[in-house]
């Protein structure tokens, strides 16, 4: 007899750890949403440690419960959500890692499941987008981030956590005219950096502008920019370091947690086909609040998916 059925569930902080206590899945077959980790941090340019993010997010995600009063939805009832474990990345070998992530994600989308990934550093979004675009066609990208990630090379190499957007545009995976980057701020390498991002055709909403116009207006601009299908990537450093200290390249002056929640809620109804939260770095998150914010933003996205019926 199943032991949990016999004895009941342990308290929420306990038990073998999957995301939000959803079932561990050995395959995406039959799932509506496949949650999985991409535990790599080789491509980080400052503080490393994002490889431990999936474990850290799972650890605090036990706080998440069944029903969301704002969305008025019970996502785990409305959707079959499973935790597929972590992609077998290859530390120090970026090409092999990119391939592993793409193949894994391809399997997920082929099975008809929505891919919801926990990075890892931001370099993992490229193979995620490759797999999702192979299935759904050219994507609109909604990127919450403090950095545009549109460099051509990083340390002289093509793949890093700061080059993936350019690669995605070059490969035709995303339609820049239907894509938008929200929360960009901080110093850059050269005068032209942000212009280069714009030259790629991407819409930028820098943090200063976002703060000035307010979250509701930001949401409106995002919604007027994107076209179906939409991929959402959320670098946790879009949030202010007070809310997200545990990240590799923090930038002061970002969104508050309340604003982050409102931004994701603002995507309600959009035809989203993939989602990731990246750059959580537990070694600098002693109070676990960064991982908690990431877990909640994933939960908001699950509610969004559940609410579209």
Tell whether omega for the bond before 239 is within 30 degrees of 0, i.e. cis.
no
Residues 6+ apart with CB under 8 A from 107: 28
The residue from 32, 74, 227, 268 that contacts a second copy (CB under 8 A) is 74
For residue 137, what are its two tokens? 């066609």
Which residues from 90-109 bind a second copy, rule CB under 8 A? 90-94, 96-97, 100, 103-104, 107
Give the other-Cβ count within 10 Å of 172's Cβ. 11
The residue from 32, 78, 80, 85 that contacts a second copy (CB under 8 A) is 85
The residue from 33, 49, 144, 274 that contacts a second copy (CB under 8 A) is 49
Strands 230-235 and 180-184, how do they pair?
A: unpaired
Over its C-alpha atoms, the chain yields an Rg (Å, rounded) of: 18
CA 278 to chain CA centroid, Å, is 5
CA distance 62 to 229: 31
Cβ 253 to a second copy, closest distance in Å?
5
User: Which residue, 232 or 243, has its beta carbon nearer to a second copy?
Assistant: 243
Which residues from 124-153 bind a second copy, rule CB under 8 A? none
Which 3 state secondary structure label does DSSP give 99?
helix
Residue 241 found at the interface with a second copy (CB under 8 A): yes
Which residues from 204-223 bind a second copy, rule CB under 8 A? 206-208, 211
Residue 307 found at the interface with a second copy (CB under 8 A): no
How many residues of this chain bind a second copy (CB under 8 A)? 115
Which residues from 263-292 bind a second copy, rule CB under 8 A? 283-289, 292
The residue from 32, 33, 67, 278 that contacts a second copy (CB under 8 A) is 67
List the x/- string, 13-42, binding to a second copy by CB under 8 A.
Answer: xxxxxx-----xxxxx--------x-x-xx
Indicate the helix (H) or strand (E) that contains 182: strand 180-184
Residues 6+ apart with CB under 8 A from 235: 122, 143, 144, 145, 146, 147, 247, 278, 279
The residue from 57, 86, 140, 142 that contacts a second copy (CB under 8 A) is 86
Which residues from 158-177 bind a second copy, rule CB under 8 A? 159-160
């Amino acid at each position: 007899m199943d032991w949990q059925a016999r004895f009941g569930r342990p308290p929420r902080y306990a038990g073998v750890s999957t995301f939000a206590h959803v079932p561990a899945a050995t395959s995406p077959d039959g799932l509506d949403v496949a949650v999985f980790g991409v535990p790599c941090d080789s491509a980080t340019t400052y503080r490393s440690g994002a490889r431990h993010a999936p474990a850290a997010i799972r650890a605090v995600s036990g706080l998440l419960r069944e029903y969301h009063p704002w969305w008025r939805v019970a996502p785990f009832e409305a959707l079959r959500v499973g935790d597929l474990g972590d992609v077998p990345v290859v530390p120090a070998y970026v090409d092999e890692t990119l391939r592993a992530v793409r193949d894994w994600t391809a399997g997920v989308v082929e099975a008809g499941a929505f891919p919801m990934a926990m990075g890892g550093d931001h370099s993992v979004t490229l193979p995620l987008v490759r797999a999702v675009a192979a299935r759904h066609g050219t994507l609109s990208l909604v990127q919450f981030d403090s950095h545009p990630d549109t460099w051509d090379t990083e340390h002289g190499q093509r793949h890093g956590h700061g080059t993936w957007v350019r690669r995605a545009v070059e490969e035709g995976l995303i339609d820049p005219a239907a894509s938008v980057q929200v929360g960009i701020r901080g110093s850059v390498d050269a005068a032209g950096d942000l212009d280069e991002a714009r030259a790629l055709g991407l819409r930028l909403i820098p943090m200063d502008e976002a703060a000035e116009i307010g979250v509701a207006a930001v949401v409106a601009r995002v919604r007027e920019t994107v076209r179906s299908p939409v991929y959402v990537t959320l670098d946790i450093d879009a949030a202010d370091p007070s809310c997200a200290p545990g990240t590799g390249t923090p930038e002061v002056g970002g969104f508050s947690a309340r604003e982050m929640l409102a931004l994701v809620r603002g995507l309600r109804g959009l035809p989203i086909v993939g989602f990731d939260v990246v750059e959580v770095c537990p070694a600098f998150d002693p109070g676990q609040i960064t991982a908690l914010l990431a877990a909640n933003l994933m939960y908001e996205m699950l509610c969004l998916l559940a609410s579209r019926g």
